[in-house]
Structure 1
C-alpha cells in the first residue's frame, strides 16, 4: 500500500498526481505577493512603500480569508466537490499574508520590538488585528492531517472560530481605513452573503436560484444599512445621506450595489449547474450493441 509522503508539493493531490485545480490556486495565491514584490523593486508604491505594502498584504489576507470561506458554499451551489481540495491551501495563504503583514509592520517600526508590542497593546485596531492573526496561526498549526486525527471531534469546533476571526479581521480593516471605508464595506457585504448561506443551511431552508437571489438582495440591503450606520457613528454623516447616495448612479456605484452584483453570481451558477444536471439526466441510455460490447468467451 502506498504511503503518503511527509512533504508533497502543494500542486499535487494525495496520490502524488498533478492537480490542475491545486496548481492554479497555488499560482493565484503567489501572484499578489510577487506583484507587490515587483512593484517594490521598481519603486512603484509611492513615497511610503512599506506602508503601502502593509496595507496591501492586509487587504489580500482579508480577500483570501473570504475565498476560503466561499469554498463550501461554491462546492455545494456549483456541485463541484473537488473545490474542497484547495480550502486548506487558501487558509494557509491567509496566514502567510497575515504574517507578512505583521512582519512589514515590524520593519516599519525599525525592528524595535518593544515599540511594536506597545503599539499593539495601546492601539485598539492593532490589538484586534493581532488577536485575529493569533487565531489564524492556531488554525494553521492544527490544519495538518495529524492534528485533525489528534483533535478528533474537537477539530471542527475549533475551526469554526474562523467566523469570529473573519469578524475581527474586517473590524480591523474598518478601523484602519479611517475615512473611506468603501472597500471594507464591500468585503463585509460578501462576508454577510457567506454567513447567510450557512444560516440557510443550518435552518434547512431551500437552496435554489430564487432563494440565493433573495440572499444576495438581503445582504446588499444590510450592507447599505451598515455603511450608513458606520459613517453616522464615526463621522456624523446623516444616515439618510449615505442611504440616498446608494440610489445615485451618475457618479459611482456604492459598495452595496457591488455586493448585489457579486452575489447574483450564486443563483446564476446554481441555475447553470441545475440545467447541466437536467441535460445529463435527459440523455438517452446508449444502446447495447452485441457486436461491439459483448465480451468474447474465453
Structure 2
C-alpha cells in the first residue's frame, strides 16, 4: 500500500485528510484543460484547433494568475484565513497553463525549435510572453517547502516578482490580441482593482464598505481610460468615441462595467462581514512579554509564508 504522505495529493491537507476547499479548487483548475482536451478530441475548436488551444491556454493562465492575486483580498476582506491553503495550487496551475501555452506554440511551429527561438527573439510580444513564462517557472519551482527554507527571506523578495510577471503577461495578452482587446482590457481592469487594494493596504487606508466602493469605481474608470488609450494608440480611434461606447448599452457591455460589477463584490462582502480589526491595516508589532507562541492557523494551513499584500 502506497503511503499517502509519500504521494502528496493536491486535495489533502497536511494530516492526509481531504480538504473540500482544496478539492473544489483543484477540480476548478483542471476543468478548463479537460474541456479543451474534449473539444479537441471532438473537433469542436474550429478550422485551426491548435491556434485555438494556444489562445485558450494563454487566457486561462492569465485568469488563474488573477485568481491567485485575489487570494489576499479575499482573506482580508472576508476574514477567511483558510483560503490561503489554495494559493500554492493556483500558482502551480498558472505555470502549467503557461507551459502548455508555449508547448502548443512549438507544436504549431512543427516542433522546429530553431524557428520557435527565432520567433521569440524577433517578435516583441513573444519575447515579453517568454520572459513572463520564465518568471512563472521560477516561482513555481521555488514554491516547495524546501525552497522556502533554503531561500529564507529571499523567498519573499523573489515571489514579489509576481506583480511584474502579471504586467508582462497582460502586455503580451494585449499585443497578441491585436484588434479586439475586450478580454485583455477586462483582465487588466481586474489587475488594477487588485493592485488598488494593495495600495490601500500599503498606506493603511481604512477598508470600509465606502472605501472599497470608491476603489471599485476608480478601477472601472481606469479600465475605461485604458481601453480608450489602447484603441487610440493602436488603431487611431478617437478616445471620446471609445469612452462614449461605455454609455451605449445597445451593444456589448464594455469591460469597465464588468470590472465595476466585480469590484462591487468587495464592499458587499465587507458590509456582510461587519467591522473587523484587520480591515484597518496591520497592527504595529510589539515586543512580546513571553516567548512567542506558534501560530496554529498558519501551521495547520501548511502553506508557505508569502508577501503580506
TM-score by length of 2: 0.87
Counterpart position of 2:77: 77
- The CA deviation at 1:5 is 3.4
Report how many aligned residue pairs link the two structures.
275
Counterpart position of 1:34: 34
- The CA deviation at 1:7 is 3.4
Contact 1:4 1:14 in 2 (8 A): no
User: 1:58-109, CA deviations, whole angstroms, 9 ceiling, x for partnerless residues?
Assistant: 0000000000000011011101100000000000000000000000001000
Q: How does 1:92-131 map to 2 (within 5 A)?
A: 92-131=92-131
SS at structure 1 position matched to 2:274: helix
TM-score by length of 1: 0.90
Please give the alpha-carbon distance, in whole angstroms, between the structure 2 residues aligned to 1:164 and 1:6: 35
User: 1:178-219, CA deviations, whole angstroms, 9 ceiling, x for partnerless residues?
Assistant: 000000000100000100000000000000111111000000
Larger Rg over CA atoms = 1
Cα-Cα RMSD: 1.5
Q: Flag as ranges the 4+ runs of structure 1 deviating above 6 A.
A: none
Unaligned runs of 5+ in 2: 278-309
User: 1:6-30, CA deviations, whole angstroms, 9 ceiling, x for partnerless residues?
Assistant: 5311000111110000000000000
Counterpart position of 1:54: 54
Counterpart position of 2:272: 272
Unaligned runs of 5+ in 1: 278-298
2:19 matches 1:19: yes
- The 3 A distance-change label for structure 1 pair 155 and 275 is closer
SS at structure 2 position matched to 1:110: coil
Counterpart position of 1:91: 91
Please give the alpha-carbon distance, in whole angstroms, between the structure 1 residues aligned to 2:162 and 2:6: 27
Counterpart position of 2:212: 212
Contact 1:4 1:15 in 2 (8 A): no
